[in-house]
Chains A and B, each alone.
Chain A
């Protein structure tokens, strides 16, 4: 991936940066808004108190004659000193005293308590107090706007640092995230710098807890790749090694045929060439079968297979080969026996077992039996009454390319490897025993009960 391509991908750092900054901004603005409301409330309470106090003071002094007071041009002693306007009404109708900045009409229609009114364009907070004994109504008003200015000033004081803090915070978060993501970047570089053939585990010293699953996941993957590569190499080496002998035989036979002056000898050698070709082809087939079985097939969910049907199918195709070798081939199976396995694999397995049994008991036994058992633990048995295999040799059965001593029949030495591999895939166990009569070989494949596999 080029740097340009990579820059189009979503960035963890940018995402973290955006989320953190947005979160901080929202929280901060929220706090400022709350502070504003709270400040306004407190200012209201406080100034309402002063308003009431002012009304009481004015009422107390209202006995003096009527006139106007220029509070507007009184010296302002403090920037928060309030601009108030007041009116003193006699019997509610005659304006006895008022401040110069007070409107002409009543500030508030109410006689008692607080009121919010709009006169002209100006919003007023008005406190009215009526002295029934003297028939004097005092109304003190304050321009609302000045109160809001105080609350705004409080909120602004809180919000203003945000403008400076956000960029600084952004930078700090960027540095922190960059530092925090360093292990990830190191792993990324270590992986991308890697030689494709290098499947050694990643050497990350004490990875952070969050990155550890990634490292161990990668290392587990590397381990699997390593095992599969090693397996592949061994398999290729084994296969090449095993193909050498049939090819050497082919070559020797062909050279003999070429050099021979006798037609009988030449014919024998040419027959040998054909037999050698057949054998090499069979070996290649078996190798391919095994190679296809070898990659991590195990992960595939098993299908359902009917052992009994497969046994009958394989028997029907192998019966001629058995008859040709003077053997009877029999199947003892229930109507059906379901196992959790891929039918095609079971067929390959059984074909190899029957092939072996027919091949190795030819001329030395009478019959080959395929027995299928159903029930809780389904099983498959292939029993011959041929020469069998010595107990000490049985342990090596199934080793790749191992052919037991005294083996004269041509074979790849892979048949039982294939059987064992398929058994492994199906979760089945394979046992080699002598047949009931003590002669011959009995191969038993025990499958897990249907549904037992997880």
Chain B
């Protein structure tokens, strides 16, 4: 899952980016409000982590502009302002969650996963597709109850497809969601990861939709 992190503090941004990456997210980091807006206009993000005290355009302003445009992107405010009034204002301005610095990275990652899940209308944190189960929190994948070891990128690809179960995603869409800025993408990286997934989970989990992309079928039981 690809996140946009808007944080002007160099050291904190760097730490959050590294920490969220460790938690399995792809993180693009911008340091002011205008850059955040440009990034949101041009990329596909699963969620936005927003600091309120951003230079050039404040977090509040960015958020209200975003909501005014009808964007449904989950937004988590991460700020040093801890007053109840601040929280209320932030949530009322359109934020989905509010965390006060210093936040626990694990908690931040869990809240982001929950935000993404809710945004997709899922109730259960675990995703299921046929015999395959994926737990976003523990980053475990099981096939018929047996644990399957996946490389981080393979996990991320399966996660994206399962989050969008029933909907085909193009190679380009997948690349966008799997890779942050500046990460090198091999020309057939997605194909390679799909190939590995099929080898580990069986050929039927990820289907190819010719001329469109890839699909994980929606699990009717779940």
Instruction: Please name all residues of chain A whose beta carbon is closer than 8 Å to the beta carbon of B19 when the two chains form the complex.
Output: 252, 255-256, 259
Indicate if the CB atoms of B11 and A272 lie closer than 8 Å.
yes
- Nearest Cβ on chain B to A448's Cβ, whole angstroms: 36
Once the chains are docked, how many angstroms separate the CA of A324 from the CA of B101? 34
Q: CB-CB contacts of B16-56 with A at 8 A, as 1s and 0s?
A: 10110010000000011000000000000000000000011
Interface residues of A in 393-416 (CB under 8 A from B): 403-408, 410
Indicate if the CB atoms of A276 and B55 lie closer than 8 Å.
no
Q: Is B192 an interface residue (CB 8 A)?
A: no
Q: Is A148 an interface residue (CB 8 A)?
A: no
User: Residues on A close to B: CB < 8 A?
Assistant: 241-242, 244-253, 255-256, 259-260, 265, 268-269, 272, 275-276, 279, 403-408, 410
Once the chains are docked, how many angstroms separate the CA of A41 from the CA of B100? 102
Partner of A248, one of B10, B31, B102: B102
Interface CB pairs A-B, < 8 A, 28: A241-B81, A242-B80, A244-B80, A244-B100, A244-B101, A244-B102, A247-B102, A248-B101, A248-B102, A249-B9, A249-B12, A251-B15, A252-B15, A252-B19, A253-B18, A255-B106, A256-B15, A256-B22, A256-B105, A259-B22, A260-B22, A268-B18, A272-B14, A272-B15, A403-B55, A406-B32, A410-B10, A410-B11
Interface residues of B in 49-101 (CB under 8 A from A): 55-56, 80-82, 100-101
**Chain B residue at minimal CB-CB distance from A409:** B10
Indicate if the CB atoms of B102 and A265 lie closer than 8 Å.
no
Instruction: Please name all residues of chain A whose beta carbon is closer than 8 Å to the beta carbon of B55 when the two chains form the complex.
Output: 403-407
Once the chains are docked, how many angstroms separate the CA of A256 from the CA of B11? 12
**Chain A residue at minimal CB-CB distance from B101:** A248
Q: Is B103 an interface residue (CB 8 A)?
A: yes
- Nearest Cβ on chain B to A233's Cβ, whole angstroms: 13
Instruction: Please name all residues of chain B whose beta carbon is closer than 8 Å to the beta carbon of A245 when the two chains form the complex.
Output: 9, 12, 80, 101
Q: Is B183 an interface residue (CB 8 A)?
A: no
Q: Is B104 an interface residue (CB 8 A)?
A: yes
Once the chains are docked, how many angstroms separate the CA of A108 from the CA of B73? 137
Indicate if the CB atoms of B18 and A265 lie closer than 8 Å.
yes
- Nearest Cβ on chain A to B7's Cβ, whole angstroms: 9
**Chain B residue at minimal CB-CB distance from A253:** B15
Instruction: Please name all residues of chain A whose beta carbon is closer than 8 Å to the beta carbon of B15 when the two chains form the complex.
Output: 249-253, 255-256, 269, 272
Instruction: Please name all residues of chain A whose beta carbon is closer than 8 Å to the beta carbon of B10 when the two chains form the complex.
Output: 408, 410
Residue from the set B9, B10, B15 with the largest chain A CB neighbour count within 10 Å? B15
Once the chains are docked, how many angstroms separate the CA of A178 from the CA of B165? 91
Indicate if the CB atoms of A249 and B11 lie closer than 8 Å.
yes
Once the chains are docked, how many angstroms separate the CA of A406 from the CA of B104? 27
Once the chains are docked, how many angstroms separate the CA of A246 from the CA of B12? 7
Once the chains are docked, how many angstroms separate the CA of A386 from the CA of B26? 36
Once the chains are docked, how many angstroms separate the CA of A404 from the CA of B100? 23
**Chain B residue at minimal CB-CB distance from A243:** B80
Once the chains are docked, how many angstroms separate the CA of A252 from the CA of B78? 13
Indicate if the CB atoms of B102 and A275 lie closer than 8 Å.
no
Once the chains are docked, how many angstroms separate the CA of A9 from the CA of B22? 74
Indicate if the CB atoms of A405 and B32 lie closer than 8 Å.
yes
- Nearest Cβ on chain B to A162's Cβ, whole angstroms: 75
Instruction: Please name all residues of chain B whose beta carbon is closer than 8 Å to the beta carbon of A276 when the two chains form the complex.
Output: 11
Assuming the contacts A245-B12, A405-B32, asked whether A251 and B18 have C-beta atoms less than 8 A apart, the reply is no
Instruction: Please name all residues of chain A whose beta carbon is closer than 8 Å to the beta carbon of B102 when the two chains form the complex.
Output: 244, 247-252
- Nearest Cβ on chain A to B54's Cβ, whole angstroms: 9
Instruction: Please name all residues of chain B whose beta carbon is closer than 8 Å to the beta carbon of A251 when the two chains form the complex.
Output: 15, 102-105
Assuming the contacts A250-B102, A406-B55, asked whether A269 and B12 have C-beta atoms less than 8 A apart, the reply is no
